[in-house]
Amino acid sequence: MKLTRRVNTLFAQTQEVQANTGNQTRMGVEERRKRPRLDARKGTRVLVIEDSTTALSMITNMFSTAGYEVAQSNESERGLYMACYSPPELVILNVGMPGMNGFEVLKRMRKDPVARRIPVIMTTGNQHAIDHFYKRNVDADAIIKKPFTRYEVFSRVEKMLSTERVPMRANDIRSSTAGSFLARIRQSLLRGNQSTK
CATH (domain of 124)? 3.40.50.2300
Give the pLDDT confidence score for residue 172 in this predicted structure: 66
Q: What is the mean pLDDT of the chain?
A: 77
What was the pLDDT predicted at 173? Answer: 61
Whole domain around residue 62: which residue ranges? Answer: 45-168
pLDDT classification of 52: cutoffs 50, 70, 90: very high
Residue 14 counted as domain residue: no
Helical (H) or strand (E) element with 47 = strand 45-49
Q: Looking at the domain assignment, is residue 185 inside a domain?
A: no
Residues 169-194: tens digit of each pLDDT:
876 665 555 445 444 554 555 555 44
In a domain, residue 29? The reply is: no
pLDDT value of residue 164: 82
Close Cβ partners of 84 (under 8 Å, ≥ 6 residues apart) = 109, 112, 114, 115
How many other CB atoms are found less than 10 A from the CB of residue 132? 15
Total number of domains in the chain? 1
Assess if residue 52 is contained within a domain. yes
Whether 186 is covered by a domain: the verdict is no
161: DSSP letter? B
Return the higher-pLDDT residue of 168 and 75.
75
* 72 assigned to some structural domain: yes
Does the residue 40 lie in any domain? no
